[in-house]
Chain A
Amino acid sequence: MEPLNALVSVTNFMLIPAFAYGSQLALGALGITLIFSILRFAHFAHGDTMALGTAAVIGGTFFLQAQGIGIQPLPTALLALPFGILVMVGYLLAADRLVYRYYRKVKAKPMIFVMASLGVMFVTNGITRLFMGVSETRFEDGQRFIFTVREFRDFTGLAEGMALRSAQAITIITALVVMVILFWFLNRTRAGKSMRAYSDNEDLALLSGINPERVVVITWTITAILLVLAGTLYGLDKGFRPFNYFQLLLPMFAAAILGGLGSPLGAIVGAYVVAFAEMGITFAWRRVLTYLAPEGMEPSSMMQLLPVDYKFAVTFAILVIVLLFRPTGIFKGKVL
């Protein structure tokens, strides 16, 4: 029995990656929830917009790298973030002007908005691939590890090693900081409160003199920031492939619905639930259990509940189970 080694192993292979992945999902799911509560539709272009935002950051990164500008030991991409955010704010606001605003004016049904977002999805998808192609692009630079497996082993003297990659650490820290700022914005500032008011009761918000178009602009701006951050952090962590971003749509939606659509706190909790469940169920527990089992009782199989290919099935199963018992999600959300 070596519980310490088991703990290190599970932290290294499951907890840290799941925490990082959950943070990336949370930023994305927050955007979905914000758009849902203000603009009142399911934003299907979310994953692809995220990809385009990341592509902009990658473009900026490559430019900076060519100029020899960097912020060692941190990845250059962080320096390119403002550029990516600027591009995405412009892009989303342009999409709103050209596409969604008209449907707001004619008070179209939510489904029409969803269809329109499918159109935006295709366009965004095409633009991203025009720039980036479909193959994987890696843009992580700077110091790769905060500490490596070897350093950890030498330091602790344990048999099992643990590494913390810079990308993971940056992801977790950034996500937490951004969440704190977002909650401060929503709960403490006039603009943030006006967003919540608009989400709560549109008519009364109008009556109180809140300008809906302004609320919409703020919402897209925040969404752009969240998207670019989520996409860049995901890309730093796992590499950039447009299709992977498209596939994030399912876990992000699952997280937002799971937490309760329209509830920012719910989106975050939902994201971590999805991430930990996905990782936990597709994780091979053999190594961990070997440390925990009494002598001679070590498991012989992989002790993996489901192959990694089925992580979507896990997401989906959790969603089904939670919504069967609590249809409004963990935190009371809205019904579409």
Chain B
Amino acid sequence: MSLTARDLGLFAIMGAVLAMVAMFQSPQLAVTILNMSLISAIMALGVNMQWGYAGLFNVGIMGFTAVGGLAVVLIAMPPVPEAWAAGGLGIILGLMLGVATILAAVLVYKRMTPGRLRGLAIFGVLVVGFMITSYVFGPAKQAVQAVDPAATGYLGGAGLPVVLAWPVGAVFAAGVAWLVGKVSLGLRSDYLAIATLGISEIVIAVLKHERWLARGVNNVTGIDRPVARPVELQPVPWVQSLADTLGWSVSQTATVVSGLGYSALFLIVLGILIWLAERALNSPWGRMMRAIRDNEVSARAMGKNVTRRHLMIFVLGSGVCGLAGAMMVSMDGQLTPGSYEPLRFTFLIWVMVIVGGSGNNWGSVLGAFVIWFLWVQVEPAGRWLMEMITSGMDVGSELRRHLLDSAAYMRLLTMGVALLLMLRFAPRGLIPER
């Protein structure tokens, strides 16, 4: 644990700011900000492992968090027996055929000598495999999606406890990362950037489109929550007495208590991760990773298998992002593929890492808090600003309406300016690497 007094001061200021939100705005808002900050901190931690430890540029964070979110649906939702009966077997078989096709193509790639013939053979294998797969998969998918489409229309999950979905989410994301890394790492450094950008778009497309999997854009709602919901807490006696003591309404108290329950869970996860990450960073392994980052050529010359190390850290970091994605979905109690936007889930995390201080785990956490706070607060601030500007205008004026409507976009502007200012004047971030 290498925190200086200055770092602790920065965290204390952040805490004080959140306390002020609780006092002057509302305690619910403060808890919401706190929880999303914690989740963002975990995502930033994952990205910092890749970028700060190894210099890998991952622009597909959104995809890994979404995959983690998918795990929550697949683990926690009850299975839909009718759908399984209608086409479960076909879907499983179809997926297996798809995997077999790709494996066959890889086998051809490895066994045959390079040349035009090999290219043709791979192409042939893929085309034939694709046709067989879609022949099996297509009808099964249609059948599943036809089962009560208004309520289910998908296979459902495993009906297991929701907290189990968190590690599974991490494993899912790590698996996707392994595939991406296997193809793109060690080839060219820009390749990973474009590959992650592509894969994250594909993941979202799959989530939106494959309705048999997680209902697509129809969203899965009502997922079991690891913490009691506010409605369930309201009749509990100690919540009611707490409300009396604080002088808050019962519903408000219940919301805050429920939110703080998540905060506690998230804090435990974040704490464990930070402990592990710091241990790893200061171990011989961490020093080796940073040595590779700072001078890849000489590390290679010293006989280090750079590509393998990169793959490992890429998989680990993406797994952490997947964990955060699963936590977020279980907090919301719903998976909404339509809400995944790269600006919010990929590039905003990058702002957090840079502003916080790349290479420093505590920096990433602080960056996540600061940036998420700004992200939430700039919108009302922008609205207030716009109201000031437009106060002299005619109430029905078109310009006034337009300006008020566009206040929401002030946050993008602010994030950009924050990133540019940090990069220019404090490129090592709020808590620099040491």
Residues of A at under 8 Å CB distance from B? 42, 44, 98-99, 102, 111-112, 114-116, 118-127, 129-131, 133, 243, 246-247, 249-250, 253-254, 257, 261, 301, 305, 307, 309-310, 312-313, 315-316, 319-320, 323-325, 327, 335-336
Instruction: Kindly provide the distance from the CB of A109 to the nearest chain B CB, expressed in whole angstroms.
Output: 10
How long is the Cα–Cα vector from A116 to B408 in the complex, in angstroms?
Answer: 23
> What is the 8 Å Cβ interface bit string for chain B, positions 145-182, against chain A (1 contact, 0 not)?
00000000000000000000000000000000000000
How long is the Cα–Cα vector from A300 to B303 in the complex, in angstroms?
Answer: 58
Taking CB as reference atom, which chain B residue is nearest A313? B202
8 nearest A-B pairs in the assembled complex, by CB-CB distance? A122-B416, A126-B413, A123-B416, A126-B412, A336-B190, A316-B198, A119-B420, A129-B409
B6 part of interface (Cβ distance < 8 Å): no
How long is the Cα–Cα vector from A234 to B223 in the complex, in angstroms?
Answer: 41
Asked whether, in the complex, the Cβ of A312 is within 8 Å of the Cβ of B201, the reply is yes
Asked whether, in the complex, the Cβ of A315 is within 8 Å of the Cβ of B198, the reply is yes
| Chain B residues within 8 Å of chain A by Cβ, number | 50
B250 part of interface (Cβ distance < 8 Å): no
| A310 proximity list for chain B (CB < 8 A) | 202, 205-206, 209
| B191 proximity list for chain A (CB < 8 A) | 257, 323
Instruction: Kindly provide the distance from the CB of B112 to the nearest chain A CB, expressed in whole angstroms.
Output: 13
Taking CB as reference atom, which chain A residue is nearest B59? A44
> Beyond A119-B420, A130-B406, A130-B409, is A307–B209 a contact (Cβ under 8 Å)?
yes
Instruction: Kindly provide the distance from the CB of B57 to the nearest chain A CB, expressed in whole angstroms.
Output: 7
| B427 proximity list for chain A (CB < 8 A) | 112
Instruction: Kindly provide the distance from the CB of B165 to the nearest chain A CB, expressed in whole angstroms.
Output: 25
> What is the 8 Å Cβ interface bit string for chain B, positions 388-412, against chain A (1 contact, 0 not)?
0000000000000010011011111
| A116 proximity list for chain B (CB < 8 A) | 420, 423
How long is the Cα–Cα vector from A165 to B207 in the complex, in angstroms?
Answer: 34
| B209 proximity list for chain A (CB < 8 A) | 307, 309-310
A-B contact pairs, 29 of them (CB 8 A): A111-B57, A112-B423, A112-B427, A114-B193, A119-B416, A122-B343, A122-B347, A122-B351, A122-B413, A122-B415, A122-B419, A123-B417, A124-B416, A126-B409, A130-B406, A133-B406, A243-B341, A246-B342, A250-B197, A254-B194, A257-B190, A309-B205, A310-B209, A316-B199, A316-B201, A319-B195, A319-B198, A320-B183, A324-B183
Instruction: Kindly provide the distance from the CB of B298 to the nearest chain A CB, expressed in whole angstroms.
Output: 17
Q: State which of A42, A119, A130, A315 has its C-beta within 8 Å of the C-beta of B190.
A: A42
Asked whether, in the complex, the Cβ of B205 is within 8 Å of the Cβ of A121, the reply is no
Taking CB as reference atom, which chain A residue is nearest B209? A309
Which one of A118, A250, A313 has the greatest number of beta carbons of chain B within 10 Å? A118
How long is the Cα–Cα vector from A278 to B303 in the complex, in angstroms?
Answer: 42
Taking CB as reference atom, which chain A residue is nearest B408? A129
Taking CB as reference atom, which chain B residue is nearest A131? B406
Which one of B206, B341, B350, B410 has the greatest number of beta carbons of chain A within 10 Å? B350
Which one of A122, A124, A133 has the greatest number of beta carbons of chain B within 10 Å? A122
| B347 proximity list for chain A (CB < 8 A) | 118, 121-122
| B354 proximity list for chain A (CB < 8 A) | 115
How long is the Cα–Cα vector from A115 to B358 in the complex, in angstroms?
Answer: 12
Asked whether, in the complex, the Cβ of B416 is within 8 Å of the Cβ of A312, the reply is no
| A320 proximity list for chain B (CB < 8 A) | 183-184, 195
Asked whether, in the complex, the Cβ of B412 is within 8 Å of the Cβ of A129, the reply is yes
Sample of 4 more A-B contacts, CB < 8 Å, known A126-B415, A250-B201, A319-B194:
A44-B59, A99-B420, A133-B406, A316-B195
How long is the Cα–Cα vector from A250 to B412 in the complex, in angstroms?
Answer: 20
How long is the Cα–Cα vector from A119 to B419 in the complex, in angstroms?
Answer: 5
Asked whether, in the complex, the Cβ of B197 is within 8 Å of the Cβ of A253, the reply is yes
| A115 proximity list for chain B (CB < 8 A) | 350, 354, 419, 423
Instruction: Kindly provide the distance from the CB of B360 to the nearest chain A CB, expressed in whole angstroms.
Output: 16
| A316 proximity list for chain B (CB < 8 A) | 195, 198-199, 201-202
Q: State which of A118, A243, A324, A335 has its C-beta within 8 Å of the C-beta of B419.
A: A118
Taking CB as reference atom, which chain A residue is nearest B199? A316
| B195 proximity list for chain A (CB < 8 A) | 316, 319-320
Q: State which of A44, A119, A305, A312 has its C-beta within 8 Å of the C-beta of B205.
A: A312
| A102 proximity list for chain B (CB < 8 A) | 424
Asked whether, in the complex, the Cβ of A335 is within 8 Å of the Cβ of B188, the reply is yes
B189 part of interface (Cβ distance < 8 Å): yes
Taking CB as reference atom, which chain A residue is nearest B194? A253
Instruction: Kindly provide the distance from the CB of B51 to the nearest chain A CB, expressed in whole angstroms.
Output: 9
| A257 proximity list for chain B (CB < 8 A) | 190-191, 194
Instruction: Kindly provide the distance from the CB of A334 to the nearest chain B CB, expressed in whole angstroms.
Output: 10
Asked whether, in the complex, the Cβ of B190 is within 8 Å of the Cβ of A120, the reply is no
Asked whether, in the complex, the Cβ of B198 is within 8 Å of the Cβ of A121, the reply is no
| B415 proximity list for chain A (CB < 8 A) | 122, 126
B3 part of interface (Cβ distance < 8 Å): no
| A324 proximity list for chain B (CB < 8 A) | 183
Asked whether, in the complex, the Cβ of B193 is within 8 Å of the Cβ of A42, the reply is yes
Asked whether, in the complex, the Cβ of A120 is within 8 Å of the Cβ of B189, the reply is no
How long is the Cα–Cα vector from A307 to B130 in the complex, in angstroms?
Answer: 14
Asked whether, in the complex, the Cβ of B57 is within 8 Å of the Cβ of A114, the reply is yes
> Beyond A126-B411, A246-B342, is A118–B351 a contact (Cβ under 8 Å)?
yes
Q: State which of B187, B194, B198, B412 has its C-beta within 8 Å of the C-beta of A122.
A: B412
B229 part of interface (Cβ distance < 8 Å): no
Asked whether, in the complex, the Cβ of B413 is within 8 Å of the Cβ of A127, the reply is yes
> Beyond A99-B420, A130-B413, is A125–B194 a contact (Cβ under 8 Å)?
no
How long is the Cα–Cα vector from A307 to B217 in the complex, in angstroms?
Answer: 15
How long is the Cα–Cα vector from A40 to B50 in the complex, in angstroms?
Answer: 23
| A119 proximity list for chain B (CB < 8 A) | 416-417, 419-420, 423
Asked whether, in the complex, the Cβ of B419 is within 8 Å of the Cβ of A309, the reply is no
Instruction: Kindly provide the distance from the CB of B43 to the nearest chain A CB, expressed in whole angstroms.
Output: 16
| A327 proximity list for chain B (CB < 8 A) | 187-188
How long is the Cα–Cα vector from A316 to B206 in the complex, in angstroms?
Answer: 14
> Beyond A116-B420, A118-B419, A120-B420, is A249–B412 a contact (Cβ under 8 Å)?
no
| B350 proximity list for chain A (CB < 8 A) | 115, 118
Asked whether, in the complex, the Cβ of A133 is within 8 Å of the Cβ of B405, the reply is yes
B309 part of interface (Cβ distance < 8 Å): no
B208 part of interface (Cβ distance < 8 Å): yes
| B205 proximity list for chain A (CB < 8 A) | 309-310, 312-313
